[in-house]
Amino acid sequence: MKIAVEGCMHGDLDKVYETIKYIENTRNIKIDLLLCCGDFQAVRNEKDMECLSVPPKYREMKSFWKYYAGQEVAPVPTIFIGGNHEASNYLWELYYGGWAAPNIYFLGFSGVVKFGNIRIGGLSGIYNARHYHLGHFERPPYNDSTIRSVYHVREYDVHKLMQVEEPIDIFLSHDWPLGITDYGNWKELVRHKKHFKDEIQQGTLGSKAAAQLLEKLKPSYWFSAHLHCKFTALVQHEEGGPMTKFLALDKCLPGRKFLQIVDIESDPGPFEVQYDEEWLAITRKFNCVLPLTNQRGNFGNTQLDMQDFRQWVRSRLEDRGAKPCEFSQTAPPYNRSHPVSNTTFLGHPRNPQTVSFLEFLDLPYVLDNALESRDFPASLTQKDDYSEDIPIEDEDELEDVAEADNENQ
């Protein structure tokens, strides 16, 4: 199976798909799958743009909306995770994962799916110690604080991934696992990214949560983005244990290393995205403790052995099949002649895919549960320590520095 791995998409779907087509034609190969490591920017219209955490002068519609509207169709199956520049309102509709557009699948805030016999896991967002132990308390319309915190990784989603026991072939994260630079040529890295040196030497560059998952899951491949550069590493897990090939890539710009083709052994195709039995069982078991407030989550209140959940899910999959629910629109696509109102907030639409997914697992829909109070402690509403005037191409790197500093406070 030939897989194209892409770093930060930043909404430039047209350019990435054109690059894939060029590679296919020049190398006479067929790409089976595209994986995107975050900052996908699934912006459907102007309202989504308001939920994108970038300075207003850098907000641009880009090309995702055309695929959402059906004007274009992704020429290769695409799976993506979220980063820190996303239409967070839309991704929240698909918290458990689902089709963001035809042939474009969002892996969810955390998730595992199968593509053919290849097992792909992922964690959306970036790590921030201040918000890590809290629930998903943010709801649109976001304020200056929640538009940032909504994309911060939560312990609950990591805890679910830590329950995975069966082998993972590929794992996606937006920010890099903490300490990954120890396993690659970090001196060459800091030649090009001099401001990384202090963080690397202090052991603060990267995500603690991702490092925890890397140690537990030991996937064959781990792909990341966020820091807008290419970096490779090889992680040996214990003496004689499995190895993880790590690859981070840049964002889609001319002359930048944003795309790489990886050849992975697999069963013969055709390939399609399918639900993963173990992950569905984990989701069913832990959904009852999904934290939706600004309080610390409690994951101990679960009953029954995991095998009971596996057996229940297996029976449902035998009846229904493992194909995900079909794509459906929940908001009007961008139309230059009829712009979506910039003042009216339309509430929290229940995405039919999510409703069907929860009905399949016999679970209640709780994503639109609102907090009783919008008054958060000052520690949760303080602004991140960097300027809004930084261009988007540099903002990721500065945010990683700022949030590493916050972690040590």
The position carrying tokens 């990784």 is 153
- In whole angstroms, what is the distance from residue 295 CA to residue 137 CA? 8
- State the chain's mean pLDDT as an integer: 90
pLDDT confidence of residue 380: 47
pLDDT confidence of residue 370: 61
Closest to 237 in 3D by CA, of 172, 157, 168, 154: 168
Is residue 94 within 8 A of residue 81, CB to CB? The reply is no
Say which residue, 405 or 39, is predicted with more confidence: 39
- In whole angstroms, what is the distance from residue 358 CA to residue 180 CA? 36
Q: Which residues contact 257 (CB under 8 A, 6 or more apart)?
A: 229, 230, 249, 250
pLDDT confidence of residue 74: 98
Helix, strand, coil share of the chain (percent; to 5): 35, 15, 50
pLDDT confidence of residue 269: 81
pLDDT confidence of residue 371: 54
Closest to 282 in 3D by CA, of 117, 165, 126, 167: 165
pLDDT confidence of residue 56: 87
Q: Half-sphere exposure (CA, 13 Å, Cβ side) for 395?
A: 18
The position carrying tokens 């966020």 is 226
pLDDT confidence of residue 54: 93
Q: Per the omega criterion (within 30 degrees of 0), is the bond before 377 cis?
A: no
pLDDT at 333 over 70: yes
pLDDT confidence of residue 57: 87
pLDDT confidence of residue 226: 98
Instruction: Name which of 161-165, 294-298, 327-331, 397-401 the model is least confident about.
Output: 397-401
Q: Half-sphere exposure (CA, 13 Å, Cβ side) for 120?
A: 31
Could you tell me the two tokens for 372?
């009783």
Q: What percent of the chain has pLDDT over 70?
A: 88
pLDDT at 376 over 50: no
Could you tell me the two tokens for 68?
């959402």
Looking at the whole model, is its pTM more than 0.85?
A: yes
- In whole angstroms, what is the distance from residue 311 CA to residue 157 CA? 23
Q: What percent of the chain has pLDDT over 90?
A: 81
Instruction: Name which of 135-139, 177-181, 305-309 the model is least confident about.
Output: 305-309
The 10s digit of each residue's pLDDT in 90-149 is 999 999 999 999 999 999 999 999 999 999 999 999 999 999 999 999 999 999 999 999
pLDDT confidence of residue 5: 98
- In whole angstroms, what is the distance from residue 198 CA to residue 112 CA? 34
